Amino acid sequence: MAPPERPTRDRIVSAAAKLFYDEGIRRVSVDTVAEEAGVTKRTLYYHFASKDDLVAAYLAGRDQPSFSKFQQWYRESDGPLPERIRAVFAGLAKSARHPKWKGCGFQRTSAELANMPGHPAIKIGAAHKRRLEDWLADIFGVEGVQEPRVLARQVVLLVDGAFAVVLLNRDPDYMETAGAAAATLVAAAMDDRPV
């Protein structure tokens, strides 16, 4: 018995996700997405009012899987908090070594849409980054770190800076260097905890 066919909307988002990540949002037409999904352009527009809505759906679909990877790398690591944070960066470095890796989809999308700050995809990307920052602040707060929100923001800056530099230089070692810097920041913050 053949497996059931995925719903049309899911096929469209899946096709768009592959094309947008591989080639960029501006380079991929709605016609190309429809063809890749095996639907007509009219069917695509039945499910998405515009290409902007499709781009937003693409990023929304990246949110949970990306966030889950951060949590997994943290959860599966051993040792004290600084080493667990370093493990997240090690996971990112491993991902960046994959031949199909093309950087952070949220950053790449925001770069392409930089002149459109109200775009729904920009809002989704910003929410994703806030979610990561909130998660880190919660971890640091539980550990008794003073100013957990500030430390979380510093680590997020290292994450995003590493994404940008690795994409530019094609050298995942920058991700591990950022992980060492994050571990140093976290260790220093833990040393400053009240006794």
Q: Tens digit of pLDDT for each residue in 21-43?
A: 999 999 999 999 999 999 999 99
- Nearest Cα residue to 83 out of 194, 188, 189, 179: 179
In percent, the amount of the chain with pLDDT more than 70 equals 97
Q: Where does residue 25 rank: exposed (0-12), middle (13-18), buried (19+ CB within 10 A)?
A: buried
Domain span(s) for CATH 1.10.10.60 in the chain: 1-48
Q: 190: which 2 tokens? A: 């833990």
Classify domain 1-48 at the CATH superfamily level.
Homeodomain-like (1.10.10.60)
Mean pLDDT of the chain: 94
Average pLDDT of span 80-95: 97
Given pLDDT bands bounded at 50, 70 and 90, which one contains residue 194? confident
Nearest to 106 by CA among 70, 69, 55: 55
Superfamily of domain 59-191: Tetracycline Repressor, domain 2 (1.10.357.10)
pLDDT tens digits for range 139-190 = 999 999 999 999 999 999 999 999 999 999 999 999 999 999 999 999 999 9
- pLDDT score recorded for residue 1: 56
pTM: 0.91
Which pLDDT score, from 0 to 100, does residue 185 have? Answer: 97
Is residue 6 very low, low, confident or very high in pLDDT (cuts 50, 70, 90)?
confident
Range(s) within the chain of domains with CATH label 1.10.357.10: 59-191
Cβ-in-10-Å burial (0-12, 13-18, 19+) of 137 comes to buried
